[in-house]
Structure 1
Amino acid sequence: MIYHWQKQDKHPQKLVNFLSQQGFSKTQLKQLKFHQGQLYVNHHRRYFGYQLHYGDEVVVLLPQEEGSDKIAAIAGPLAILYEDDNYLLVNKPAGLASLPVMNITSATLANYVKYYLQISKASNDAIHLVSRLDRDTSGVITFAKNAYAHSLLAAEFRTPDVVKEYDAIVQGNFTSRELTGQICAPIGVNAHNHNLRCVSPIGKYALTKYQVIQQYADFAWVRVNLITGRTHQIRVHFAHIGHPLLGDQAYGGSMQLIQRQALHCRQFSFFNRISNQQLSVKADLPNDLQKLLQNRK
């Protein structure tokens, strides 16, 4: 990949400091220096100590990345919602894991993405998963196409520029005072099962905002804005307030109406620093959740 900038301020500056301002981490700077990355200023090869001046044109050629042998390229269905030279956003179906895990050989979304990157002749086939979804959660999931694009977006997760919005179907009834609210409760590892999480006084800060879209007789359709991104956060928080997700047996949800947690990432928005524009991608509610809502009207 090739990136280019023009120095806009009039203060002289070392090239390495300029690149740090553009979002290159210390690790990526080392990759540029020691793994055949190339730096040019005004069409001349330069090095980190070079002094930049106003109007200088800077070009960076990223070193080639090698994909992990632990993720095989496997052909499979891929519902692409958005793609450019740096990012690939996909609509993940429920029942498909995001990444391979130890001792499980079934294909995952990452396997399909690696195959797609290879046949589309992308600059590399390395997998950079920016936002993971649980196996049984559907919706928007984001891959970066190189380590630089990954680090830029990962840094945004601590800012309001990233919006993660979900649709959840939860048990029970909300009162008129509860139709809009927030759940602020720390989340930690469940001492009895390390694969699960729980609200814990020694857990990490977690904040979830929600709005009830429609109340049904025995459950509610809720729009959720994930402010922090703790593991199983939505599932844990709604179970904590007495409204576990339908189908989420691990956290007390009923399995009578649906056999997977009724959770869907409907929208992912972020500021693309590379193209300098706000990007918002949506995924329609999947058929199983649509049928669940329609059948209960």
Structure 2
Amino acid sequence: MSPQQGAGEAVKSEVRWVDIDEDGAGQRLDNFLLTKLKGVPKSVVYRIVRKGEVRINKKRAKPDTRLEAGDQVRIPPVVQKEKPVGPVPGSRVQKVMEAAVIYEDEQMLVVNKPQGIAVHGGSGLSFGLIEALRASRPDARFLELVHRLDRDTSGLIMVAKKRAALRHLQEEIRQRRVVKHYHALVAGHWPASCTEVNVPLERYELKSGERMVKVSEAGKSALTRYQLLELFDGYSLVQAYPVTGRTHQIRVHSAYGGHPIAGDDKYMDDVSLRAFRTQGGQRLMLHAFALSLVLPDGRQERFEAPYDAVFDTTVRRLRERRTGKASS
């Protein structure tokens, strides 16, 4: 953009010829164009395809045409709106994100996301984990989130470094071959006999626009399996395995079972939340502890992420209190 061009100003591009490599193979043409033509309305993208201005190997193509390695795609001149340059994650945030990477190969990253960091920018946030990783790796051609974690949940999240890896990992998740184990500190004594909660969940919005989830027969099926790990004075540490992947699933299922997650300001009652805060509770006590999956290269792998200092201190204090009572 020239010094004379203001942020958000429309700019007409030139004809581009893009060679498709192995990593780009398998994409639909329309999805490929939407990625390449940021700021161009979908209606314009579909119109230039329909009019034959987009060519694959000099031939007309349809929006759902699958690209193959070795294809050459002609992208015609279009008017694109220059996006204003947003805030860039500072060096400290970039270093925190890089330090959180616990595994990396040519295909993917596994990151132990800190609590309080969103996975991506939006909803009033300038940037999140993925923007920080992209900023710290300016030469990376491709970095995309494979799945999501709530902002207040810590723990393991996967980031793909290649499109083929993204497709593989998301398909593994869809086929329920990725096993995710969460550790949660919940209010009350979780009964060892309660090994699953299987009730449908429905998303809705409050008048404020805040997104919430509730148990509802009109919702989508949801199943979470549980294992009791430890009992404390007034709390329990459980391991939760979400068989399905609904929004806030573990949080709502735990609350539905009568044992909301400690520090959950959405689904914990005010009295219990106040009691947890009074005891020094500082965060939502939910941590994505382990991932078991088949990597894009075919290897079976299991990753584990240690608790952060706040989570660890909270659990340790409860253990010490329990030990102290037992010895008195």
Q: TM-score normalised by the shorter chain: which range applies? A: 0.7 to 0.9
SS in 1 for 2:193: helix
Partner of 1:281: 303
User: Is the 1:74–1:111 Cα contact (8 Å) retained in structure 2?
Assistant: no
Query: After superposition, where does 1:103-182 map in structure 2 within 5 Å?
Result: 103-105=124-126, 107-118=127-138, 121-122=139-140, 124=141, 126-178=142-194, 181-182=195-196
Secondary structure of 2:134's match?
helix
Percent of pairs with identical residues: 30
SS of equivalent to 1:112:
helix
CA deviation string 1:17-57 (max 9, x = no partner): xx7xxxx35459967xx99xxxxxxxxxxx8xxxxxxxxxx
Deviations 1:156-214 (A, max 9, x none): 11224201111000001123423xx0111111113536511111111111111110100
CA distance in 2, matches of 1:197, 1:183: 15
CA RMSD of aligned residues (A): 3.1
Question: CA 1:95 to 1:62, structure 2 compared with 1: closer, same or farther past 3 Å?
Answer: farther
* Alignment correspondent of 1:83: 104
Which residue, out of 82, 89, 98, partners 2:119?
A: 98
Per-residue CA distance 1:50-101 (angstroms, 9 max, x = gap): xxxxxxxx977999xxxx9778565321211111111011111111111001
| Distance (whole Å) between structure 2 residues aligned to residue 187 and residue 60 of structure 1 | 45
Q: 1:290 aligns with which of 312, 322, 327?
A: 312
What aligned pairs does 1:1-297 form with structure 2 within 5 A after superposition?
A: 3=22, 24-27=26-29, 72=88, 74-75=90-91, 76=94, 77=96, 78=98, 79-105=100-126, 107-118=127-138, 121-122=139-140, 124=141, 126-178=142-194, 181-190=195-204, 192=206, 194-252=210-268, 254=273, 255-256=276-277, 257=279, 258-273=281-296, 275-297=297-319
Aligned residue type for 2:102: L
Equivalents in 1 of 2:266, 2:306: separation in Å?
Answer: 26
Give the letter for the 1:270 counterpart. Answer: L
The match for 2:51 is none
Per the alignment, do residues 221 and 27 of structure 1 end up closer, same or farther by CA in structure 2, a change over 3 Å counting?
Answer: farther
Counterpart AA for 1:158: R
User: Matched residues in 2 for 1:142 and 1:220: separation?
Assistant: 28
Count of residue correspondences: 246
- Note if contact 2:205-2:211 (Cα within 8 Å) is conserved in structure 1: no
Judged with a 3 Å threshold, the aligned counterparts in structure 2 of structure 1 residues 61 and 80 are, in CA distance, closer, same or farther, namely: farther
> What is the CA–CA distance in structure 1 between the aligned matches of 2:177 and 2:136, rounded to whole Å?
28
Which stretches of structure 1, 4 residues or more, deviate above 4 A after TM superposition? Answer: 1-4, 27-31, 58-63, 68-74
Q: 1:101-139 CA distances to partner (integer Å, 9 max, x unpaired)?
A: 13333x421221102321xx33x0x44111211111111
CA distance in 1, matches of 2:242, 2:86: 31
Counterpart contact for 2:192–2:228, Cα < 8 Å? no
Distance 1:270 1:261 in 2: 26
The higher radius of gyration belongs to 2
Q: Equivalents in 2 of 1:208, 1:172: separation in Å? A: 18
Q: TM-score, normalised by structure 1?
A: 0.73
The answer (yes or no) to whether the contact 2:112–2:155 under 8 Å persists in 1 is yes
Question: By percentage of residues, which structure has more helix?
Answer: 2
Question: Of Structure 1 and Structure 2, which has the larger fraction of its residues in strand?
Answer: 1
Unaligned regions of 5+ residues in structure 2, if any? 1-19, 38-56, 58-67, 74-82, 320-328
Report the secondary structure of 2:221's partner residue.
Answer: coil
